[in-house]
Amino acid sequence: MANQRSARLNTANLGERLWNIIRENWYLGFTSFGGPPVHFKIFHDKFVAKLSWIDEQMYQELFSVCQAFSGPGSTKMHYCINLLHDGFLPALFGFLLWSLKVITVSFQKKAKHSQNTSEEGVEMQTQQQATASNGHEEYNAGARPSSRGKDGGRSSQRIDENGTLPLTEHEALPAEDQSRVVPQERRLNISWKFGVLLIVLFLLSFIVVMVLRGTLPHKSRLYSLFSNMYLAGTIIFGGGPVVIPLLREYIVAENWVSPRDFLIGLALIQAFPGPNFNFAVYLGSLTAINGGYNSAVGAILGFLGIFLPGLLTVHGTMGVWSAIRGWRWVKSSLRGVNAAAVGLIYTAVYRLWQIGHIDEGFQQGTSLAVDPWWVVVTATSYVGGYWFRLSPPVAILAGAIMGLIWYGVISD
């Protein structure tokens, strides 16, 4: 039934496809807590298990492609699923529904207020929740594509396009050194020529932006902001957790935003749903305000700079992928890419741990281990998320309470 509905939607007019995007996507940007690893699970449950927009094999391929290239991993996954099902314009509209939340622009007002120690408690907890959530869910995401049985062969089951024929890899796939024949119904309707053209155009735009960034003698802060975000969006591999240390280098090191405001914004963005790359919107608005510009302009430039590279490259890559996805060695190489992406996540989480504590004596940030209480918060968040399925909003609320307890103790 779901598959018949999917086929019907693929031939529907633009208005019906846009309505389909609204109906199935409108709430995701407001309910998807927990960062990219949790988002991947949400997308799997919704678009594979519930709606059958794509099958398990296609999901794993999209996961590999989105992790293999720069940009926001979960946002690219969301865009690609909608692109395959409903086409370009509906997918673009779905991306806006997913990523545009007015609340991220208003963060700059809170960041300008004085920070007290109870706010630090909330801030510390949100970073611990990022650590616990990413560690747990990335383990699952990294293990999902390549589980093996006792005999060393592929033992995971793969569901066919209709979701009715569980097949083992031994039954369904040829030998490792043979090309896989992709059935007609699973072929991507995206031209590889257009994909190559899109990638080339992106590379040319990147070269122009970077040349101007390095040669213009008197650049406005707004252009510097956009070029730094464009560079960050191009070279970030590993998704949301990896972007945070990099943005610290490109924004805080330029003295556009203070370390304190950066960490407050990090706490806020972790406490709200949606993509972590929206952190660039917060930083863009603050950068504009501190430079004497309108905050909305900075927010828009931050948004475009951080998201455009990933969306352009993944759309182009989908075209190329449609031509090479049957090649055996390509799929094998992407297993290594998945593992490397998980490693980048853990590296980013460790770096956040090392700068996550700020107070009057550590304005640049220091290790959360400086106070054993934050280790307790970390352990509580991790154990709650890993073993007791504690949801991110509840964990964040618990951390806020623990932060207030810490504030009450030191105040006495």
Which pLDDT belongs to residue 22? 93
Instruction: Confirm whether 240 is domain-assigned.
Output: yes
CB burial string 83-122: b at 16+ within 10 A, e below: bbbbbeebbbbbbebbbebeebbebbeebeeebeebbbbb
Q: Which helix (H) or strand (E) holds 395?
A: helix 392-411
Q: Which domain holds residue 272?
A: 184-338
Please state, in angstroms and rounded to a whole number, the distance separating the CA atoms of residues 224 and 233.
14
| Three-state SS at 173 | coil
Which pLDDT belongs to residue 5? 44
Instruction: Confirm whether 405 is domain-assigned.
Output: no
Instruction: Confirm whether 63 is domain-assigned.
Output: no
Instruction: Confirm whether 29 is domain-assigned.
Output: no
Which pLDDT belongs to residue 78? 94
CB 134 within 8 A of CB 35: yes
DSSP string, 234-267: HH--S-HHHHHHHHIIIIITTTSS-HHHHHHHHH
CB 222 within 8 A of CB 350: no
Q: What is the tally of structural domains in the chain?
A: 1
Instruction: Confirm whether 178 is domain-assigned.
Output: no
Instruction: Confirm whether 194 is domain-assigned.
Output: yes
**Among the residues of 356-391, which ranges form H helices?**
372-387
Helix/strand number for the chain, H first, E second: 20, 2
pTM over 0.85: no
Bin 209: left if φ > 0, else alpha if -120 < ψ < 50, else beta: alpha
Which pLDDT belongs to residue 188? 59
Which pLDDT belongs to residue 243? 79
Task: Find how far residue 94's CA is from the centre of its chain.
Answer: 15
Instruction: Confirm whether 88 is domain-assigned.
Output: no
Tens digit of each residue's pLDDT, the chain (412 residues): 445 444 545 567 888 999 999 999 998 888 887 777 778 888 999 999 999 999 888 898 888 888 778 888 889 999 999 999 988 899 999 999 998 765 544 444 444 443 444 444 445 444 554 444 444 444 444 444 443 333 433 333 333 333 333 333 333 444 444 444 444 444 556 777 888 899 999 999 999 999 999 898 888 999 999 999 999 999 887 666 677 888 888 999 899 998 888 888 887 777 778 888 888 999 999 999 999 999 889 999 999 999 999 999 999 988 887 777 767 777 777 777 767 777 777 776 777 777 666 666 665 567 777 888 888 888 888 888 888 888 777 887 888 888 888 888 887 6
Paired tokens of 303: 């948004």
Instruction: Confirm whether 67 is domain-assigned.
Output: no
Please state, in angstroms and rounded to a whole number, the distance separating the CA atoms of residues 332 and 254.
41
